[in-house]
Amino acid sequence: MNCLRSSEQILMDEMVPSPESLATKDHTSSVRSSRAGEAGQKPDTGNIEEAESSLRESGCLNYEEARALLGRYEYQKGNIEAALHVFEGIDIASVTPKLKLALAERVQTQKKRSRSFSTPPLSINAVSLLLEAVFLKAKSLQALQRYKEAAQSCTVLLNILESSLPAGLPETFATDCKLQDTLNKAVELLPELCKLADAPRETIMSYRRALLHQWNLDIQTTAKIQKEFAIFLLYSGGESCPPNLQSQMDGSFVPRNNIEEAILLLMILLRKISLQRIEWDPSILDHLSYALSISGGLKTLASKVEELLPRTIDRQEMSLILALCYYGGGDDFTALNLLRKLLSSTEDHSCVPGLLLASKVCAENPDCASEGIIYAHKAIERLQERCSHLLGVANCVLGLSLTAHSRTVLTDSERVKIHSDALKSFESAGKLTKMSDTNVIYHLCLENAEQRKLDVAVHYANWFLKLEGGSTLKGSMLLARVLSAQKRFLDAETVINVALEQSGKWDHGALLRTKAKLQIAQGQVKNAIETYTQILAILQVQRRSFRLGEDLKEFGDHCRMLELETWLDLASIYIKLSQWRDAEKCLSKTEAISSYSACRLYTAGLLNQSKGLYKAALGDYSNALAVNPSHVRSLVSSAVVLRKIGKQSPAIIRSLLTEALSLDRMNASAWYNLGLLYKEGGLGSAAEAADCFEAAIILEETEPVEPFR
């Protein structure tokens, strides 16, 4: 540019072979149009310095270099289209061999630490200038929304550098020119261009290329690419082929899918944070939390959070995250202890998220339910005149804790009061959340159903399905159970059939089991057996389709439990039909699944009881209670067998039945057998027996085919 300003026309002619050959001929109008704004814009002085350096080294500026300079000048002024026209005049294919040779010779010269006698075809500054022109061409195409062409231009740049410098760009290059800066920007830009071009496969390949090739990127740039790649893998919606990591050592972990690859990248980033190589970024933990939660790795997340340095994350936030991780991983005891420790401190005793989570955890354990009520009341007190939605959530967890606490109360009057308070809490939660929170609506339906307010329960179940778009498995099954309690078996079966049409094949198991029980209630035993056979067929296909690893353990446990319940349901059908051999075959199938299941031992007792083998049946029921002391059906059946044998005192039989009723007040069979005992054993008055029979009749009339919960 200094030469252009001077009067040395001979040197000018060497730099530019012909004025006609540059952009001055084809783009005069675009240059003129930009002159109005030239006064307020200051071109990069790097143009002048680089031109001077190139001139000193080679004595002239060739056609491509001149276009590169002019194109950059236009690009910096904001004349994108004019810059693109200039860049398109550069024949990059013809200069590529020179670029590769110049780069290779420069690396060899530096390795030998001596000057080579052969003159490189291009100076290193000329190489930097031309490659920057390729990059700016890609940026210009991006600005004009020509993303596919932009990605191709960027790929050309990286191909040249990758083939010329397989070991990466030497660190000394950065001191000589802007090549490393251009490379960093190009490596970052290519995946973004592929995303904009809607090419997910090419996006993933470009991200992997950026991370696996030795570009000598700085740690911040690498971390940024790793984070963006992980985000794309998690939320792009597609599934890519696993990476080919042949360079890895044998036995190294190779991700099998998008989620695993994203988790690996995010864990690497967390490790860098722990080593203080990069700054703390809370979004990394957010994305990792999501990835591990959907893949069943919450305990792994807990271990990664515990590895963070103390001042990296707030102590209160860390305690809450760890509690959520352990709670989601099924370790309620550890989660509750963490929350107790958090809430016992003076500054965190009123932490609303901690109070809500603690109350929810306590609600799932009747022994801690009273503690959960205290936490919920504290949360409600803190949320007064604040967020109405959170206040609604607090009322909801209060209702859950009250419902759980009612199972430990001995007197009927206190139990009725607690249930009434729980229903009021759920109703308050519904009003505060404007009847838009599906979790609140679901528990409103459940509480009304258990209190046998079935019309209200049906209303809330339909509202829940409406909020969920009509395609939720949980809502469909609850509605079907409430309808079955109203003895509307055909309507309930229709709900299940609609849910079967709208759900995936792997979700059909639980729906088909409910359908089979509805068919039994209608006397369609043959149809029910066929439905159970469908369940077993689905489970068999699932076993062949999946290799259940650690990440699918929860799904595998669910399948085994469903298979166990299906065989036991079939055994119960055959027992009622007095087909002993078929019932025994079904029971033998369950032994390999879970030989010490309380439900399996109970069904074996039913088989012996139906055969008249009362002592063997009593032994089976005793074994079932040894496995699960709260197994209500075994308590009731033990009382029935003891009453038939007649060798035990009525007081022992009554204690079994009253214990069963303390666990499940809605058990019609327990009320009926207690009424018989009062009538025959002389332990109670005729009025007490009548009350028991009346309760049994009312409960039987409103009994669902499956428990509401």
pLDDT of residue 164: 83
The pair of three-digit structure tokens given for residue 566, joined into one six-digit string: 């299906």
Are 678 and 692 a contacting pair, CB within 8 Å? yes
Sign of the Cα pseudo-torsion (425, 431, 435, 437, in order): negative
The pair of three-digit structure tokens given for residue 342, joined into one six-digit string: 């958090």
Mean of per-residue pLDDT scores for the chain: 82
- Grade residue 351 by pLDDT with cuts at 50, 70 and 90: confident
**Alpha-carbon 312 to chain mean position:** 24
Residue-wise DSSP of 408-455: T--SHHHHHHHHHHHHHHHHHHHHHTTT--HHHHHHHHHHHHHTT-HH
In the predicted model, is pLDDT for residue 526 greater than 70?
yes
- Grade residue 65 by pLDDT with cuts at 50, 70 and 90: confident
**Which range has the top average pLDDT, 225-229, 677-681, 684-688?**
225-229
Could you give the angle at the alpha carbon of 586 between the alpha carbons of 581 and 590, nearest 5°?
A: 140
Enumerate residues 6+ apart whose C-beta is below 8 A from 524. none
d(CA 463, CA 188) in angstroms, rounded, equals 48
271-295 average pLDDT score: 89
pLDDT of residue 66: 86
In the predicted model, is pLDDT for residue 67 greater than 70?
yes
What separation, in Å, do the N-terminal and C-terminal C-alpha atoms of the chain show? 81
- Grade residue 166 by pLDDT with cuts at 50, 70 and 90: confident
Name residue 593's amino acid.
I
- Grade residue 566 by pLDDT with cuts at 50, 70 and 90: very high
- Grade residue 239 by pLDDT with cuts at 50, 70 and 90: confident
In the predicted model, is pLDDT for residue 108 greater than 90?
no
In the predicted model, is pLDDT for residue 177 greater than 80?
no
d(CA 690, CA 670) in angstroms, rounded, equals 14
In the predicted model, is pLDDT for residue 241 greater than 50?
yes
More confident residue, 680 or 152: 152
163-186 average pLDDT score: 75
More confident residue, 645 or 550: 645
In the predicted model, is pLDDT for residue 25 greater than 50?
no
Q: What pLDDT, in 10s, does the model give residues 27-47?
A: 433 333 333 333 334 444 445
Q: What pLDDT, in 10s, does the model give residues 386-441?
A: 888 899 999 999 999 999 998 887 777 888 899 899 999 999 999 999 999 999 99
- Grade residue 91 by pLDDT with cuts at 50, 70 and 90: confident
High-pLDDT (> 70) share of the chain, % = 84
